[in-house]
Amino acid sequence: MEEQKARQIVNEAQAQVNHLFQKIDEIAEYNQMKVLKAFQKNKIGEEHFYTVTGYGHDDLGREALDNVFADVFNTDAAIVRPHFVSGTHTIACALFGVLRPGDALLSIAGAPYDTLDEIIGKNENCEYYNCSLKSMGVEYDEVPLLNDMDVDFNSIPKYIKPNTKMVTIQRSRGYSLRNSLTIDDIEKIIKIVKDINPNIVCFVDNCYGEFTQKDEPTDVGADLIAGSLIKNPGGGIVEAGGYLAGRKDLIEMCARRLTAPGIGTEGGAMFNQTRVMLQGFFMAPSVVSYAVKGAVLAAKVFENTGFKTHPLSDAVRCDLIQTIKFEEQKAQEAFCRALQKYSPVESYLTPIPDGVPGYEDKLIMAGGSFIEGSTIELSADGPCRPPYAVYMQGGLSYFHVKLALVGILEELL
Q: Give CA–CA dist 350/365, Å, rounded.
A: 10
Alpha-carbon Rg for the chain, nearest whole angstrom, is: 21
Residue 301, pLDDT score: 98
Residue 361, pLDDT score: 84
Confidence tier at 341 by pLDDT (50, 70, 90):
very high
pTM score, whole prediction: 0.95
Backbone dihedral region of 133: left (phi > 0), alpha (psi from -120 to 50 degrees) or beta? alpha
More confident residue, 23 or 412: 23
Confidence tier at 6 by pLDDT (50, 70, 90):
very high
Residue 360 pLDDT greater than 80, yes or no: no
Residue 148 pLDDT greater than 70, yes or no: yes
Residue 177, pLDDT score: 79
Residue 209, pLDDT score: 97
Condensed to tens digits (0 to 9), the pLDDT of residues 175-220 reads 777 899 999 999 999 999 999 999 999 999 999 999 999 999 999 9
Residue 125, pLDDT score: 87
Residue 358 pLDDT greater than 80, yes or no: no
Q: Give CA–CA dist 94/113, Å, rounded.
A: 15
Residue 51, pLDDT score: 87
Residue 174, pLDDT score: 78
Percent of the chain with pLDDT over 90: 91
Mapping DSSP onto H, E and C, the string for the chain reads CCHHHHHHHHHHHHHHHHHHHHHHHHHHHHHHHHHHHHHHHCCCCHHHHCCCCCCCCCCHHHHHHHHHHHHHCCCCEEEEECCCCCHHHHHHHHHHHHCCCCCEEEECCCCCCHHHHHHHCCCCCCCCHHHCCHHHCCEEEECCCECCCECCHHHHHHHCCCCEEEEEEECCCCCCCCCCCCHHHHHHHHHHHHHHCCCCEEEEECCCCCCCCCCCHHHHCCCEEEEECCCHHHCCCCCCCEEEEECHHHHHHHHHHHCCCCCHHHCCCCCCCHHHHHHHHHHHHHHHHHHHHHHHHHHHHHHHCCCEEECCCCCCCCCCCEEEECCCHHHHHHHHHHHHHCCCCCCCCCCCCECCCCCCCCEEEECCCCCCCCCCCCEEEEECCCCCEEEEECCCCHHHHHHHHHHHHHHHC
State how far Cα 252 lies from the chain centre.
Answer: 22
291-304: burial string, b at 16+ Cβ within 10 Å, e else: bbbbbbbbbbbbbe
Q: Which of 8-12, 189-193, 198-202, 385-389 has the lowest mean pLDDT?
A: 385-389
Nearest to 138 by CA among 82, 181, 100: 100
- Report the Cα–Cα distance between both ends of the chain, in Å, rounded: 6
CB-based burial of residue 54 (10 Å sphere; 0-12 exposed, 13-18 middle, 19+ buried)? exposed
Confidence tier at 381 by pLDDT (50, 70, 90):
very high
Condensed to tens digits (0 to 9), the pLDDT of residues 287-320 reads 999 999 999 999 999 999 999 999 999 999 999 9
- Measured in degrees and rounded to the nearest 5, phi and psi for residue 105 equal -110, 135
Q: Give CA–CA dist 230/375, Å, rounded.
A: 6
The contacts of residue 267 (CB under 8 Å, 6+ apart) are: 55, 56, 57, 259
The contacts of residue 78 (CB under 8 Å, 6+ apart) are: 66, 67, 69, 70, 243, 244, 245, 246, 251
Mean pLDDT of 109-123: 92
Give 79's strand partners: 244
Confidence tier at 96 by pLDDT (50, 70, 90):
very high
Mean pLDDT of all residues in the chain?
96
Residue 240, pLDDT score: 97
Mean pLDDT of 308-335: 95
Residue 250, pLDDT score: 98
Nearest to 397 by CA among 277, 276, 301, 292: 292
Residue 366 pLDDT greater than 90, yes or no: yes
